[in-house]
């Protein structure tokens, strides 16, 4: 009886030890706007499904604030290949359309892990996406091509994102090609042996949606906290640095995601 009890504790310990890295992997799988813009170069694990919802509120200079919900779903279709869909709704859709933010457009993407991270190189992934004009005040279908890098340094990771967008429909004063780049860092804020909380920060730079407009810089900080086996709550705050008269001075985002 004593030997069986001892083996029971050994098995339980092995299960917990195996589960801890898995939970950390789910926690550190960075998705766009969960809560920051930059994502990592690791596709979601094979056959896993991640579903998330959030609410975002923009406090804009000039007082024309806007807010709205967003949802996303990711699926590990095959090993190293992630497919997903996302949609966001915002108030004041007409004004936001001129900022390049369409309310209700459907975005689908595929992310493929080209190289896994090793001691000598970062993880590298390629991303292709389409944005369909299913929302209010939307134009044509947009194409997005991107590259992602992730490099680990002990308890901290660094991520780099690059994205080119070709708009399917524009007005004479609007750019048809847009470029965006971003850098982010994350690190575990939990105590030794725990993988409950991840702290994140990023900076992104993108071309203005209007011709002759200056580049737009965004700064964000946030956190992801695991509250269940595979459930994560997240929150973030950010600000835009630009000369736009109605730029978002403060952005708030809170949400929850679950991995099945």
- What's the CATH superfamily of 2-259? monomeric porin ompg (2.40.160.40)
Quote the pLDDT of residue 19. 39
Provide the residue ranges of all domains of the chain, joining segments of one domain with +.
Answer: 2-259
| Secondary structure of residue 40 in the 3-state scheme | coil
Per DSSP bridges, beta strands 81-88 and 156-166 are: unpaired
Cross-strand partners of 219: 203, 239
Quote the pLDDT of residue 20. 41
CB atoms within 10 A of CB 150: 25
Which portions of the chain are predicted below pLDDT 70?
1-26, 93-101, 191-193
Give how far the C-alpha of residue 197 lies from the chain's centroid of Cα atoms, to the nearest Å. 16
Cis bond upstream, residue 156 (ω within 30): no
């Amino acid at each position: 009886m004593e030997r069986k009890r001892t083996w029971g504790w050994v098995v339980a310990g092995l299960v917990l030890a195996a589960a801890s890295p898995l939970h950390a992997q789910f926690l550190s799988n960075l998705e766009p706007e969960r809560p920051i813009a930059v994502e990592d170069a690791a596709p979601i694990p094979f056959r896993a499904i991640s579903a998330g919802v959030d609410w975002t509120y923009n406090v804009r200079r000039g007082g024309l604030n806007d807010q709205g919900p967003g949802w996303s779903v990711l699926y590990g279709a095959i090993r190293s290949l992630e497919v997903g869909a996302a949609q966001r709704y915002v108030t004041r859709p007409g004004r936001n359309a001129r900022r390049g933010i369409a309310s209700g457009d459907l975005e689908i993407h595929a992310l493929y892990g080209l190289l896994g991270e090793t001691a000598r190189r970062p993880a590298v992934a390629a991303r292709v996406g389409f944005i369909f004009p299913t929302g209010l005040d939307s134009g044509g279908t947009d194409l997005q091509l991107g590259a992602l890098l992730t490099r680990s340094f002990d308890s901290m990771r660094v991520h780099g994102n690059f994205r080119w967008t070709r708009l399917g429909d524009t007005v004479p004063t609007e750019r048809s090609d847009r470029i965006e780049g971003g850098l982010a860092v994350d690190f575990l804020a939990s105590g030794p042996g725990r993988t409950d909380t991840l702290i994140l920060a990023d900076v992104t730079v993108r071309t203005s949606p209007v011709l002759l407009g200056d580049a737009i810089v965004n700064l964000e900080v946030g956190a992801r906290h695991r509250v269940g086996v595979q459930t994560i709550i997240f929150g973030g705050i950010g600000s835009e640095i630009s000369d736009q008269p109605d730029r978002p001075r403060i952005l708030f985002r809170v949400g929850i995601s679950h991995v099945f």
